Amino acid sequence: MTTADVTREVTPIPAGPLDLLRHSWVLAKRSLVKTWRTPEGLIDVTLAPIMFTLLFTFIFGGAIAGSTSEYLVFLIPGLIGQNIAFSSVGIGIQLNSDMEKGIFDRFRSLPISRISPLLGAALGDIVRYVLLIGIMVGTGSVLGYRITTDPLSFLAGCLLAILFALSLAWAPMLVGLVARSERAVQGIVFMTLFPLTFASNAFVDPSTMPSWLEAFSNANPLSHLIESLRALWSGTGEWQGPVTSTLVWCAILVAIFAPLAIRAYNRKT
Amino acid sequence: MAIELAVEARGLVKNFKETKALRGIDLAVPRGSILGVLGPNGAGKTTAVRILATLLRPDGGAATVGGFDVERHPAEVRKRIGLTGQYASVDEELTGRENLLMIAALLNLRSADAKVRARELLEWFDLGDAADRTLKTYSGGMRRRLDLAASLTGHPEVVFLDEPTTGLDPAKREDMWDVVRGIVANGTSVLLTTQYLEEADALADDIVVINHGEVIAHDTADRLKRVVGSQTLRVRPADPAQAPLVHEILARVATDGAPIDEHRPGEYSVPVPGDAVLTDVVASLRAQGVDVTELSLQLPSLDEVFFTLTGERQRQPATDGEAA
């Protein structure tokens, strides 16, 4: 431990506009490595979706749609919407623990953009959403679910779902940065997510709800995503309208929560 | 810019709601030197470090690090500093090497340079064997060392060490001290906060004592000790019944007839002018047939420093310069 520090001539990569992307990627890799090391952290996007698919199909299928196979067309996009929302709590918990353990202090003291740690965490989560969609559609297909449109529409649906997930993630990120414990993050996020996911078109047709709830369901951003996925994957209707409103919602979510989350991260206390 | 000051703070003020964390403190770290900031918990040490490391904005006053204003040019400051906080800010789930490679990549080191730098640091900090294990398997001391290594990844001009040895056992503390000396030998400037006078004395060129967010003394360790009384002799007789004999012996060697303290039951301490008295005391103890379970000569504890400087006793128990 007494060896002197060796000073070599090194020329660092010059700072430039690509720094934000490079630094975010470095930090995304950090979350990927962590995900890889603790695969049990993926239960919410692997086993949980399988369980939900089986439960909902066999419990509600007959009652709601008359048959399980018909219900699947309705249910799989609904479950994807619900599980994207549920699994977004993970990023909030992650940021909260980074904050708690002081590693954010290190990032803040480095000459990197203050958005990089947040962007990195979000990018690292893409793999979770890909897994989630794959497992949902896979489980569905075992039960008889089929994509009846074309591969391009399927891909478009996947991309839309991931984009939505990344936009929505800023809300739990904000919670993760302001809440004082992981438990609080979980509590706050789930308390918001339950009404958001159930008061939507995920499991039942909103026209069967009381009118005030139907109005909420129809405005619910998740409903727009779910409707887009049904249209893109099963041709249940026009896709242009719901896809557009989903994209608008993505923009709104980012416009509201991203600045707040960045401010919370920068908050100098 | 003042000549060769790596860190300069003037009149830093910071309030957290009702709490006045800093009430206008001045700090100066000449280039290539170590400034020890000594103070008890809650004195404002960490707040000062966080302001200088651009993590916090001051409510008043100004500070420059490496010649750049912390408020106006935080990005320039961040290029020049390394920060090691009170809690090791490294990633538990990554290996030692991955942690360093990540920091190196964030500092824009090319991948080949980053690998060399990581290896260099891991060897320097005796972490070569543990390099590819996740931090969950590291001891507290290893984590601290990795944390410090992470702070040094980019060859910073200024390193902030916020209580780098709190919670380490005495042997590990001395290892850490060697490392800190090594950093300065390479021309880096260090601002170190500590609760231990012993640590400040061992490392710092200059010591600033702060209490309740104010600087209450600024001096070299030697002069500070002269003010406080140089050393403390501690004796614990094996047989409590011999306490009167110990009292008598200690009273003879005490500085200016200072009273004998019983900080802990059965343990007597008294300020003494220097280490020359030790042989005297040992001889007297033997002559009187007093067996002791503890006999030590120590720097005054932080508690005693504060008592001398402020006349007020700290609420916390005496730390005696030993690891908490």
CA distance A254 to chain B (A): 25
E strand or H helix at A234? helix A221-234
CB < 8 Å to B75, chain A = 111
Cβ–Cβ below 8 Å for A102 and B56:
no
Q: What is the pLDDT of residue B252?
A: 87
DSSP readout, B229-251?
Answer: -SEEEEEEESSGGGHHHHHHHHH
Cβ–Cβ below 8 Å for A10 and B117:
yes
pLDDT, tens only, B184-231 = 988 899 999 998 888 888 899 999 999 889 998 888 877 777 666 667
Q: What is the pLDDT of residue A118?
A: 94
Residues B240 and B202 in one domain: no
Residues B265 and B214 in one domain: no
**What's the pLDDT band for B322 if we cut at 50, 70, 90?**
very low
The pairs formed by A130-134 with CB atoms below 8 angstroms and a separation of 24 or more are: A130/A158, A130/A162, A131/A42, A131/A45, A131/A46, A132/A45, A132/A46, A132/A49, A132/A80, A132/A83, A132/A84, A132/A87, A133/A80, A133/A158, A133/A161, A133/A162
Angle subtended by helix axes A151-168 and A240-266, to nearest 10: 30
Q: What is the arithmetic mean of pLDDT over B16-33?
A: 91
Residues B86 and B189 in one domain: yes
Report yes or no: B65 at the A interface, CB cutoff 8 Å.
no
Q: Which residue of B has its CA nearest to A19?
A: B108
CA distance A28 to chain B (A): 11
Cα dihedral B312, B316, B319, B320 sign: positive
CA distance B113 to chain A (A): 7
Report yes or no: A110 at the B interface, CB cutoff 8 Å.
yes
- Is B118 part of a structural domain of the chain? yes
Ramachandran angles phi, psi of A14, nearest 5°: -60, 145
Ramachandran angles phi, psi of B65, nearest 5°: -130, 125
Q: What is the arithmetic mean of pLDDT over A99-126?
A: 91
Report which of residues B151 and B305 the model is more confident about.
B151
Residues B199 and B237 in one domain: no
From A2, A23, A111, residue closest to B78, measured CB to CB? A111
To 5 degrees, how large is the angle CA A122–CA A183–CA B90? 55
CB < 8 Å to A29, chain B = 102
CB < 8 Å to B155, chain A = 5, 7
Q: What is the arithmetic mean of pLDDT over A137-150?
A: 93
Report yes or no: A2 at the B interface, CB cutoff 8 Å.
yes
Residues B36 and B106 in one domain: yes
Residues B206 and B289 in one domain: no
Cα separation, A82 vs A63, in Å, equals 20
Q: What is the pLDDT of residue A5?
A: 53
Query: Which of B51, B93, B157, B184 is the best residue to mutate to test the A interface, defined by the most A CB atoms within 10 Å of its own CB?
Result: B93
Q: Which residue of B has its CA nearest to A103?
A: B89
Q: What is the pLDDT of residue B271?
A: 81
Task: Name the range with the highest mean pLDDT among A9-18, A166-175, B17-26.
Answer: A166-175
Q: What is the pLDDT of residue B5?
A: 92
**Which of B225, B226, B245 has the alpha carbon at shortest distance from B235?**
B245
The 3-state DSSP composition of chain B as helix, strand, coil percent (nearest 5) reads 40, 30, 35
- Is B314 part of a structural domain of the chain? no
Quote the mean pLDDT of chain A: 90
Q: What is the pLDDT of residue A9?
A: 62
Q: Is A90 exposed, middle or buried (0-12, 13-18, 19+ CB in 10 A)?
A: buried
pLDDT at B61 over 80: yes
Residues B293 and B189 in one domain: no
Cα separation, B44 vs B24, in Å, equals 11
Cβ–Cβ below 8 Å for A109 and B83:
yes
Cα separation, A160 vs A157, in Å, equals 5
Cβ–Cβ below 8 Å for A101 and B16:
no
Cα dihedral B244, B291, B233, B194 sign: negative
**What's the pLDDT band for A45 if we cut at 50, 70, 90?**
confident
pLDDT at B92 over 50: yes
CB < 8 Å to A11, chain B = 110
Chain B window 144-203: which residues touch A at a Cβ cutoff of 8 Å?
150, 152, 155, 175, 178-179, 182-183, 185-186
CA distance A43 to chain B (A): 18
Q: What is the arithmetic mean of pLDDT over B134-153?
A: 91
Cα separation, B256 vs A235, in Å, equals 96
Cβ–Cβ below 8 Å for B107 and A1:
no
Residues B261 and B161 in one domain: no
Residues B216 and B254 in one domain: no
**What's the pLDDT band for B316 if we cut at 50, 70, 90?**
very low
Cβ–Cβ below 8 Å for A5 and B175:
no
B21: domain range?
A: 5-225
To 5 degrees, how large is the angle CA A262–CA B13–CA B45? 85
E strand or H helix at A251? helix A240-266
Q: What is the arithmetic mean of pLDDT over A241-264?
A: 96
Cβ–Cβ below 8 Å for B182 and A2:
yes
Residues B78 and B92 in one domain: yes
CB < 8 Å to A112, chain B = 106
Q: Which of residues B225, B240, B275 is at a domain's end?
A: B225
Query: Which of B92, B108, B133 is the best residue to mutate to test the A interface, defined by the most A CB atoms within 10 Å of its own CB?
Result: B108
Q: What is the pLDDT of residue B319?
A: 41
**Which of B234, B231, B265 has the alpha carbon at shortest distance from B249?**
B234
Q: What is the pLDDT of residue A212?
A: 93
pLDDT at A6 over 60: no
Cα separation, A60 vs A62, in Å, equals 6
**What's the pLDDT band for A172 if we cut at 50, 70, 90?**
very high
- The structural domains of chain A, with segments of one domain joined by +, span 41-266
Cα separation, B252 vs B242, in Å, equals 16
pLDDT at B323 over 60: no
Percent of chain A whose predicted confidence (pLDDT) is above 90: 66
CB within 8 Å of A131: residues ≥ 6 apart: A42, A45, A46
Q: What is the pLDDT of residue A7?
A: 54
Q: What is the arithmetic mean of pLDDT over B64-89?
A: 90
> Six-digit token pair at A8?
């070599």
Q: What is the pLDDT of residue B320?
A: 41
Report yes or no: A114 at the B interface, CB cutoff 8 Å.
no
Report yes or no: B70 at the A interface, CB cutoff 8 Å.
no
Q: What is the pLDDT of residue B324?
A: 32
Q: What is the CATH number of the domain that holds B170?
A: 3.40.50.300
Q: What is the pLDDT of residue B230?
A: 65
Cα separation, B62 vs B48, in Å, equals 11
Q: What is the pLDDT of residue B96?
A: 96
Q: What is the arithmetic mean of pLDDT over B8-21?
A: 91
pLDDT at B292 over 50: yes
Report which of residues A107 and B87 the model is more confident about.
A107
pLDDT at B285 over 50: yes
Q: Which of residues B172, B204, B225 is at a domain's end?
A: B225
Q: What is the arithmetic mean of pLDDT over A143-151?
A: 92
Contact (CB, 8 A) for B142 and B130: yes
Report yes or no: B132 at the A interface, CB cutoff 8 Å.
no
Report yes or no: B85 at the A interface, CB cutoff 8 Å.
yes
Q: What is the arithmetic mean of pLDDT over A48-71?
A: 85
CA distance B318 to chain A (A): 28
pLDDT at A142 over 70: yes
CB < 8 Å to A116, chain B = 106
Report yes or no: A54 at the B interface, CB cutoff 8 Å.
no
DSSP B213: T
Q: What is the arithmetic mean of pLDDT over A89-113?
A: 90
Q: What is the pLDDT of residue B82?
A: 94
From B55, B102, B185, residue closest to A26, measured CB to CB? B102
Q: What is the arithmetic mean of pLDDT over A11-24?
A: 86
Residues B254 and B221 in one domain: no
> pTM here?
0.81
Q: What is the pLDDT of residue A15?
A: 79
Ramachandran angles phi, psi of B294, nearest 5°: -145, 135
Which range (B58-62, B127-131, B185-189, B319-323) has the least confidence? Answer: B319-323
Q: What is the pLDDT of residue A66?
A: 77
CB < 8 Å to B113, chain A = 8, 10, 12
Cβ–Cβ below 8 Å for A33 and B98:
yes
The total number of structural domains in chain B stands at 2
> Six-digit token pair at A96?
């909260």
Q: What is the pLDDT of residue B1?
A: 46
E strand or H helix at A101? helix A89-101
CA distance B312 to chain A (A): 30
Chain B window 251-280: which residues touch A at a Cβ cutoff of 8 Å?
none
